Amino acid sequence: MEAYIKGIGIVSPQNTFDTPDFLTELVEHNSKTLRCIEPSYKEFLNPILSRRMARIIKMSIAASSVCFKDAKIDMPDAIMTGTALGCLEDTEKFLVAIIENDEQFLTPTSFIQSTHNTVSAQIALQLKCMNYNFTYVHKGFSFESAVLDGLMTLAEGDAKNVLVGGHDEISEKYYRVCDRIGYWKKEEQVLTMDLINMESDGSIAGEGASFFVFSNEKTENCYAVLCGIKTIYKPESNAEIETKINELLHTKGLTTNDIDLVVYGINGDARFDKTYNNLKEGIFKNSTATYFKHLCGEYQTSASFALWMAANIIKRQTVPNAVLIGENKSKVIKNVLIYNTFLNTDHSVFLLSQC
Amino acid sequence: MSSKIYITGMGMISAIGNNVAESLASLENSNSGIGTLENIRSRHKAIIPVGEIKASNEELTAMAGLLPEQQSTRTALLGLIAVQEALKTAGITDIKEFRTGIISSTSVGGMGTTENHWYEYLDKEKTGPWLKYIEAHECGDSTEFIADKIGIKDYLSTISTACSSSANAIMFGARLIKHGILDRVVVGGTDSMTRFTINGFMALMILDKEKCKPFDSDRQGLNLGEGAGFFVIESEKSAKGKEILAELSGYGNSNDAFHQTASSPDGAGAYLAMEKAFKVSGLKPTDIDYINAHGTGTSINDLSEGTAIDKLFSKNVPNISSTKAFTGHTLAACAAIEGIFSVLAIKHNMIFPNLNYVNPMTELSFKPTTTLEKGKKINHVLSNSFGFGGNTSALIFSRHQ
């Protein structure tokens, strides 16, 4: 099972939307919450519709539109997205309205939009796309499930192009709620660009909407081949992680020595970063090391930002300085691995190769 | 790779019973579970009948064999109880014997707890045992809770596509087996009653103030329910030598792409989903002996679904009924619960009644079956589930040959 990554559209806390730039002009967020840089929606949505829509829906519609344009397709044969929290803002809005108004005088708009599959449904509605439409909502496996489904759907032979997305939004209140259970750093001020050097517990919050067209057709503009994905639930040892990585590599006849570059989900959380360090200093000590969460923050579907980054590194054969850990050891970047975990519970590995 | 998907276990809990046997007895005796809301406070208590499980979260914790301190959200507890029964009927004692995964589904996740503690969550001064439920808000947390209790580690995921969620979980699980990624999968869904959903459906004005009347021309809306349903589905390899309850022969998902909450009048999405399920199964509409309809009792669903069925079956519709008037609409869990009813229909050659039906819809060619029918051989059952966001799914269950 593999897929050509044919098009990408991404709204993130960096200038990543519909631009030829690749992480040269960085946005430094003076906050422990990295919010997305929103595009103008005029091109993608009529203003009346746009006013009623939550931020995450608009960002996702814009990102998927740009993704279709990039892939030069009008209609996907299937849509599968991953989101841990769905439409958080609308969920909070309806929840607070219920409590504040003692279950009276409620209008259904925010309830309707709070449904977890609103984004994939709205994309389908905009396109009048009646094809397969799935939404995965499993914490750090949400986007990963959508990716696996995308690969499976292409392998089943009925679909040529599928839209695979990952989207989650952060709200001020949800930040505060998760702060109570140790998600975020306690320091008043955090230099986000220095995240990798921090030794305290917790991370910084982020969000994003990233969409990909996976295809079984190779095109000239194709970014990379996604050769496979593996998820690991609550690994009990480093040996277990390494075994799973090797299993994935073996399906393509590769070994750890063939991996030119690794994208790590390092998030500056002293409790969890050792998982990445074990790989970086162990089986992948000869590979170029990169990371990304100082740019997009930590969130359940952040591997979608990593996939965008890895695909671009392969296509452009450049490694932006902003993401390098140590030196760039590779002249040619042929095989790239992404290793990510959310809270050390849900782990995932993606394998990409040059087209 | 396994070309067939075998159902070897099933378990459920809903307003009509704490397990499959109790549920079957209720179905046979036309005992509806629709009644008054008791377990959660809501100002709408006296107005809206619901399909509620008459057990507190403490009682559910004990029912699942857990210690009081292991209590989780109602969604997770209901799911665990159904999964435990499914594993038991499948005779699974060593979960590690084969590559085993769980694909669950839910629409509310931990909202039932979040809505009780939201302001306490936000108040740094307040603390309590409820802090552990912050993480449980996420849909995937209920799946991880269940997986941890039964020892599943090989693959976990959770789907949320509103009221078609568990149909899609069953479908994804089946495909994981067909691709050779897993040997067996626990698939289904769980949803608990919450003020969030009660008020959402109230605001949409689609709750019937009386017991729901699916496919009746005088239908006034749906009754909310709660529950969980899970299957154990297996490959040829792992099912070898086991009793096969039925086969999952077909599945299809499509999108109506008409409106965020309303189905299209012609049921275009529903039609496509059923058509895909037939394609996967290799069956024809004339092979179907019984349709367990989505049949929520809302004006729009029953017309849309009925119209699509009339078209697909060229107005020669076999026995059809909606069992929502028994259980209420259990949202993400309904497809799995009704999938279990479909398997029971095959196993016992029974067609369960569509309760509260009096007046035929002039728009449709068919009338649902209103009394328990026994004796007709049931080989293939079609079960539909449709959700918000235009999500339409259809499953076909077949007798194991």
Instruction: Name the token pair of B182.
Output: 């897993």
pLDDT value, residue A144: 98
> C-alpha B49: how far from its chain's center?
19
Average pLDDT over residues A54-65: 97
Closest CA to B330 of B227, B211, B258: B227
3-state secondary structure of B50: strand
Q: Provide the ipTM.
A: 0.98
**Is A240's pLDDT higher than 80?**
yes
Per-residue pLDDT reduced to its tens digit, A8-43: 999 999 999 999 999 999 999 989 999 999 999 999
**Is B78's pLDDT higher than 60?**
yes
Q: What percent of chain B stands above pLDDT 70?
A: 100
Instruction: Name the token pair of A253.
Output: 């006849």
pLDDT value, residue A52: 87
Asked if the C-beta of B133 comes within 8 angstroms of chain A's C-beta atoms, the answer is no
**Is B228's pLDDT higher than 80?**
yes
Cβ of B168 within 8 Å of Cβ of A134? The answer is yes
Q: So where are chain B's domains?
A: 6-398
> Residue A177 — pLDDT band, cuts 50, 70, 90?
very high
Q: Which residues of B touch A173 (CB under 8 A)?
A: 122
pLDDT value, residue A49: 87
- Indicate whether this model's pTM tops 0.90: yes
Cβ of A111 within 8 Å of Cβ of B257? The answer is no
pLDDT value, residue B260: 87
Cβ of B147 within 8 Å of Cβ of A233? The answer is yes
Kindly report the CATH class assigned to A225-353.
alpha beta
Q: So where are chain A's domains?
A: 3-215, 225-353
A contact test, residue of B260, B279, B298 with most A CBs within 10 A: B260
**Is B199's pLDDT higher than 80?**
yes
**Is B1's pLDDT higher than 60?**
no
Asked if the C-beta of B41 comes within 8 angstroms of chain A's C-beta atoms, the answer is no
Q: Which residues of B touch A131 (CB under 8 A)?
A: 254-255
> Residue B244 — pLDDT band, cuts 50, 70, 90?
very high
> C-alpha A296: how far from its chain's center?
9
Q: Which residues of A touch B203 (CB under 8 A)?
A: 106-108, 111
Asked if the C-beta of B168 comes within 8 angstroms of chain A's C-beta atoms, the answer is yes
pLDDT value, residue A190: 93
Per-residue pLDDT reduced to its tens digit, B281-318: 999 999 999 999 999 999 999 999 999 999 999 999 99
Cβ of A233 within 8 Å of Cβ of B156? The answer is yes
The CATH code of the domain at B6-398 is 3.40.47.10
Instruction: Find the CB nearest B255 among A130, A137, A233.
Output: A130
Neighbours of A335 (CB within 10 A): 24
Write down the mean pLDDT value for chain A.
97
Instruction: Name the token pair of A70.
Output: 């990039």
The CA distance from B45 to the nearest CA of chain A, in Å, is 11
Average pLDDT over residues A280-294: 98
pLDDT value, residue B261: 86
- Positive or negative: CA dihedral B165, B18, B346, B375: negative
Q: Do domains A3-215 and A225-353 have the same CATH topology?
A: yes
Say which CATH architecture domain A3-215 belongs to.
3-Layer(aba) Sandwich (3.40)
For B361, which DSSP code? -
- Positive or negative: CA dihedral B75, B76, B78, B82: positive
pLDDT value, residue A75: 98
pLDDT value, residue B2: 65
**Is A252's pLDDT higher than 90?**
yes
Q: Which residues of A touch B158 (CB under 8 A)?
A: 136-138, 141
Asked if the C-beta of B114 comes within 8 angstroms of chain A's C-beta atoms, the answer is yes
Asked if the C-beta of B47 comes within 8 angstroms of chain A's C-beta atoms, the answer is no
Per-residue pLDDT reduced to its tens digit, B262-281: 899 999 999 999 999 999 99
**Is B145's pLDDT higher than 90?**
yes
For A201, which DSSP code? S
* Residues A334 and A288 sit within 8 Å (Cβ to Cβ): no
For A348, which DSSP code? E
